[in-house]
């Protein structure tokens, strides 16, 4: 079997269903994605790092359309309301009508902001995700969560708005820095840790191949994680229930990212440390065993991911940041914990003293 053969995974959402295509050479496969554009206007949103590398590959595919590009400066700090305003102004200058399409070419920062801009323009237009980081391929491009950061916290403004297609061209990973690649692996581990123990075991066996970016193993890992996420999203699009499980490690992770001013840790690194903190808290609450925590820590370490809270981050401050998480209800912490590998669960009313104790011993 050709391990790099195109994989198609459908996100089943009735008349808003869409394909996730994963494979090699997809950006230049213009006929495939051009067929998803309904109108005559397109705005490509990308950033100052990705556009010089990959905008050319898609530009020819836009021949005959009225199109423009809007480039963000690179970095999480630019996933801002101000830049959504600029993107909307770019659509205005283009004369974009309701059948216009936004194309998000880049990582999760570009994808989240582009999707939110698409949700806002004329109360919602099409957008296509062209993820170029591993993290965006396995997580942020799929499922329709879009948004931007506010000074008060991460992703606090946003909308559910599903893309019309996701085109994950694995060739783009060739230029992705090692640290970013590993951060994407954290999101792969997350899917397995939440609900797929056999996949977790597969990751343990293939950790070296994944670290070495063996294309067959990378394709398999992307497809399996996307298939898992697509299933969850199809069952619970707007996170009324089980979709919250996808946030394993996020409440801790977002607090770590915010405390590090979005520069000390990459999102995937925050998720890696956050998952381990969630595992330690689960163990402390008697929900899981030390062996589960150790198994997770070993896999994260093998994949070259951080497992400790960075020096200088104050536990009380982290707890205060965790109180702002979107999953909380008034006055109580609601966290994703686990009963062991593949058995995540939503737990409400978690005591702050237990959370603090875990934060204080994890540096």
- Annotated catalytic sites, by residue? 123, 145, 187, 229, 239, 243, 247, 250, 254, 267
Smallest distance, Å, CB 210 to ligand NAD? 16
Instruction: For residue 76, state whether it binds ligand NAD (rule: CB under 6 A).
Output: yes
Which of 71, 110, 193, 309 is the binder for ligand NAD (CB under 6 A)? 110
Smallest distance, Å, CB 129 to ligand GLY? 13
Instruction: For residue 145, state whether it binds ligand NAD (rule: CB under 6 A).
Output: yes
Which of 20, 21, 42, 49 is the binder for ligand NAD (CB under 6 A)? 49
Instruction: For residue 108, state whether it binds ligand NAD (rule: CB under 6 A).
Output: yes
Smallest distance, Å, CB 27 to ligand NAD? 10
User: Can you state the angle between helices 81-94 and 108-120, rounded to 10 degrees?
Assistant: 60
Q: Of 74-82, 94-102, 161-169, 298-306, which segment contacts ligand NAD by CB under 6 A?
A: 74-82
Smallest distance, Å, CB 106 to ligand NAD? 5
Dump strand ranges (E) for the chain. Answer: 7-11, 18-23, 41-47, 66-72, 101-106, 126-131, 145-150, 153-160, 165-169, 333-338, 344-350
φ and ψ at residue 54, rounded to 5 degrees: -130, -10
Q: 81-115 in b/e burial notation, b at 16+ Cβ within 10 A? A: eebbeebbebbeebebeeebbbbbbbbbbbbbbbb
Smallest distance, Å, CB 144 to ligand GLY? 8
Cα–Cα distance, 239 to 83 (Å, whole number): 26
Instruction: For residue 196, state whether it binds ligand NAD (rule: CB under 6 A).
Output: no
Cα–Cα distance, 252 to 270 (Å, whole number): 8
Instruction: For residue 274, state whether it binds ligand NAD (rule: CB under 6 A).
Output: no
**What does the DSSP assignment read for 229-261?**
HHHHHHH-TT-SSGGGGGGTTHHHHHHHHHHTT
Retrieve residue 120's tokens. 């806002």
**Could you say which of ligand NAD, ligand GLY, none residue 247 binds, taking C-beta under 5 to 8 angstroms by partner kind?**
ligand GLY
Provide the binding-site residues for ligand GLY, judged by CB under 6 A: 139, 143, 145, 243, 246-247
Instruction: For residue 135, state whether it binds ligand NAD (rule: CB under 6 A).
Output: yes
Cα–Cα distance, 41 to 10 (Å, whole number): 26
* Nearest-5° Cα angle at 327, 323 to 330: 55
Instruction: For residue 175, state whether it binds ligand NAD (rule: CB under 6 A).
Output: yes
Residues that bind ligand NAD (CB under 6 A): 47, 49-50, 53, 74, 76, 79, 106-110, 112, 132-133, 135-136, 139-140, 143, 145, 155, 172, 175-176, 180, 183, 266-268
């Amino acid at each position: 079997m050709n391990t790099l053969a195109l994989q198609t995974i459908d996100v089943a959402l009735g008349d808003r269903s869409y394909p996730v295509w994963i494979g090699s050479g997809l950006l230049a496969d213009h006929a495939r994605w051009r067929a998803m554009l309904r109108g005559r206007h397109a705005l490509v949103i990308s950033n100052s790092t990705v556009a010089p590398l990959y905008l050319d590959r898609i530009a020819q595919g836009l021949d005959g359309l009225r199109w423009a590009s809007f480039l963000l400066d690179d970095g999480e700090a630019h996933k801002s309301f101000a830049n959504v305003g600029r993107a909307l102004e770019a659509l205005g200058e283009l004369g974009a009508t309701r059948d216009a399409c936004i194309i998000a070419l880049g990582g999760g920062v570009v994808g989240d902001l582009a999707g939110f801009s698409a949700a806002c323009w004329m109360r919602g237009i099409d957008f296509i995700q062209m993820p170029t980081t591993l993290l965006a391929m396995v997580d942020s491009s799929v499922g329709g969560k879009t948004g931007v950061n506010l000074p008060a916290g991460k992703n606090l403004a946003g909308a559910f708005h599903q893309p019309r297609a996701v085109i994950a061209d694995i060739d783009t990973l060739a230029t992705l820095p090692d640290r970013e690649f590993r951060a994407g692996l954290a999101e792969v581990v997350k899917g397995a840790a939440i609900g797929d123990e056999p996949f977790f075991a597969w990751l343990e066996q293939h950790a070296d191949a994944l670290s070495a970016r063996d294309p067959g193993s990378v394709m398999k890992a992307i497809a399996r994680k996307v298939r898992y996420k697509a299933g969850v999203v199809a069952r619970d699009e707007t996170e009324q229930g089980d979709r919250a499980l996808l946030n394993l490690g996020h409440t801790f992770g977002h607090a770590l990212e915010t405390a590090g001013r979005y520069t000390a840790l990459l999102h995937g690194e925050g998720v890696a440390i956050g998952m381990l903190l969630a595992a330690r808290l689960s163990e402390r609450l008697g929900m899981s065993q030390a062996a589960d925590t150790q198994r997770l820590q070993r896999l994260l370490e093998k994949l070259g991911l951080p497992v400790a809270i960075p020096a200088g981050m104050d536990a009380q401050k982290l707890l205060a940041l965790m109180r702002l998480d979107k999953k909380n209800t008034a006055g109580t912490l609601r966290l994703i914990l686990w009963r062991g590998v593949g058995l995540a669960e939503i737990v409400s009313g978690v005591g702050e003293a237990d959370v603090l104790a875990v934060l204080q011993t994890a540096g």
